[in-house]
Structure 1
Amino acid sequence: MIFLVIAIISPNKYTSEAVLLPSGFVLSGMQFVPGFSITEFMSGAQTEISSFLFPDILKSKKVILKALETPFDSSLIERGYKGNLKEFFRWGSTEKAIKGFKGKSKIKYSFEKGLVQLRFTCKDPFISRFALEAWISALEDFINEHTALSAKKKYAYLKRREEKLVAQLDSAENELKRFIATHRNYSDDPILTMQYQRYRSKVDLTSELINYVRKQLEVTMLDMKGAAPIINILDEPNLPRSRSGPKRSLIVLSGAVIGFVASIFAAAFRMWWISHRNKARPS
């Protein structure tokens, strides 16, 4: 009877699902495992990313908190929803909100295909779908911010390097000009010719380095514009049409089985008690 009541009063639950394929995936997700560290990636020491890292990034506090604080979109506002996920579930503190979000969400990673499957389950189908959309959006924002920051750091370093090389080239060219002005007939003297070649080589080498750094600056500029890997959403977060829980029939069946087993134990105990009591009576 208790299980029947539980089955009746338990609220419906709806699960929204989405499937991602990060652009860093090639043939097998395991190809990206050697040398990859989520700690180094988060700190900025490692700028590359693969599908292998996505579950860890999705479970990070920064990404989940961003999803929790994402304001409801117009479709939810039109239905009367207000605020964001954190306010909707009334989780209170940030730590409780993150823990609550993790409790309602699930991440499944396929090592063979490199696919990341996301699920979010709650009593409202519209909230389930929005939670996944906000989660994926928070993931994209995080990656864009991280990769853009890394590209900017690299660009700034190359720019400083270019400025130093330009100053060195200017100095080398001045030295060469002074040498030529002082030794107009340097070609007649082997020692002066060697000195000239040294000054000339310094100018040429510095010029080549500047050209190389400038090419790297062009590449880095392109990286800054499109540094973030593309997150291919194979299956968009769906609006659950049928409930995913609770399994009322399973609850009732479990209750019936437990009740049946309990009745057998109760009958056996009763028979044992009667037998024990009869033996204890004086003849």
Structure 2
Amino acid sequence: MLAVTTLVLRGYHHEAARLSAGERDARYGVYAALTAGEDPAGAAHRAGLSLAERYLVLSLHLSGPDVEGGPPLVAHHRRANTIQRVLAEHSDGDVLAVVGDPTATALLPVPAAVPSATDRALRGLLSLVDVLDVPVHVGAAVVAVADIPAAAQCAEVAEIAVAVRRPAGVYHLADVLVEYQLTRPGPAFQLLLERLAPLDDHQDWEETLRTYLRLGCDRRRTAAELHVHPNSVDYRLSRLASTCGFDATDPAQRAVAHAALCVRDVAAHRAARRTRAARASGS
């Protein structure tokens, strides 16, 4: 009798797992169609989902230590389950999400009859910081179904917010307009990156430049924060000007300094991401 019961239970769990996997595949089919700009009607019918006219497109970037110090795989599953749960709790419809580590993408339906649905979903995102106990940067946009593929820029918005050291939170393209435009591919990007290449060998110059710009180009406040003499600030900025080709003490050239630092931060972030991906694929 025990053997029969065991076999029945095994069969039940196997069938439940198969159905669950099938449901996940069906839902992913809807997600894939929406993000690819294809007609999602057939996939939605197979998955038993209702489509909304508009969606809140979210790109999440998580950072920080593994949740509760658990093994990486366990932490990953915890994060994925938590993100799915929180998004579902703050949505007025079926959430479609692909959760990785450290990034996730989600489509939340925005019912036309519920004007506050977007605000409710965004408030739920802020709670993820407390629940996961790691910084969460989110790129967000509300778009019609046909515009979902173009909203892939949300991933870049989140990436830029992380790279340029913005605090954790929800960001729209309008929040990082200048940084977004500055980091478009092209010869200007590479030239700005090369301008600050000498800082690789002069960390004190970089620290001085960042502090000087952040403190409104006040040399005395910069010196006080760095615990150096104001003359040291002048010397470092002078050396940086002669080596990198722009003078941060000249108001007309400060925009170049800001732009170059933004490009440097984004390039460093992308390089680190490629390194992590390479390590993960090799493990």
Normalising by structure 1, what TM-score? 0.23
Q: Between the two structures, name the one with larger relative contact order (CA 8 Å, sep ≥ 6).
A: 1
TM-score, scaled to structure 2 = 0.23
Larger-gyration structure (1/2): 1
